[in-house]
Amino acid sequence: MTKSKKVIVYEYLKKKIIAGVLKPGEPLVEGVLARELKTSKTPIREAMQQLEKEGFVEIFPGKGAFVSRMSFQDIREIFEIREILECEVIRRVAAKGDFTREEAEAISRKFVSAESEGGKNNRSHFKAGEKIHNFVFEAFGNKRLIDFYSRFQEHIERLRLVYFANQDRSERSDQSFKEHLEILNALIAKDPARAEKAMRDHLQNSTAFLKEIA
């Protein structure tokens, strides 16, 4: 099925916002974007209205549209949602045990391999960690929750790129690596209390670190 112009513009802008190509606070000028994307202003306007609903764009009457900024309040809210969701999900996953030890160990091996090959200051460090969080939700098996978390991850990725781009994060990366390993080990042991604590510690430590640099 051919994508509509609105969808094409929407995906183009969102990709650039998440990647940090379009910076927080940067103006989004309809005329400029229309020329750049070879389209009329209508799909530009429609796409930006959709992105505003999702929190990627801010529209001010009489002033125009801008890439949304990310304050510490945004960080706090994102990690509060993550803590509420992920701690409960991992506890249930560890308790149910609807995954094999081999599956969890395979994720662990891939994580350690990606860490050693990609380096702690590489984007692959984050991608490797994401796979662990994704594994938890996939093991839980709630399709609606998986879909929600997938869309929510777009904000998580943007947050990382905005705040980590110019930071020396080697110390936090070392700590995060150990935290992810503990999450995996708790899952392998199928220990609900340990898994929940490991996830909570990881998310709270991430929030504390971001608070320092935000």
Domain ranges in the chain with CATH number 1.20.120.530: 72-213
Mean pLDDT of the chain: 89
Q: What is the mean pLDDT of residues 16-26?
A: 94
Domain ranges in the chain with CATH number 1.10.10.10: 5-67
pLDDT tens digits for range 76-133: 999 999 999 999 999 999 999 888 888 888 998 988 887 776 555 455 567 788 999 9
Which residue is associated with the tokens 């990709």? 15
Element containing residue 60 per DSSP (H, E)? strand 57-60
Distance CA 207, CA 13 (A): 27
pLDDT tens digits for range 178-202: 999 999 999 999 999 999 999 999 9
Domain 72-213 CATH assignment equals 3.40.50.300: no
Phi, psi (rounded to 5 degrees) for 27 = -70, 145
pTM more than 0.95: no
Distance CA 157, CA 127 (A): 9
Q: At what angle do helices 143-164 and 72-96 cross, to 10 degrees?
A: 140
Q: For residue 132, what are the CA distances in angstroms to 36, 105, 111? A: 38, 11, 8
The arrangement of strands across the sheet holding 57-60 comes to 27-28, 64-67, 57-60
Q: Give the dihedral of Cα atoms 171, 176, 182, 184; nearest 10 deg.
A: -140
Fold of domain 5-67: Arc Repressor Mutant, subunit A (1.10.10)
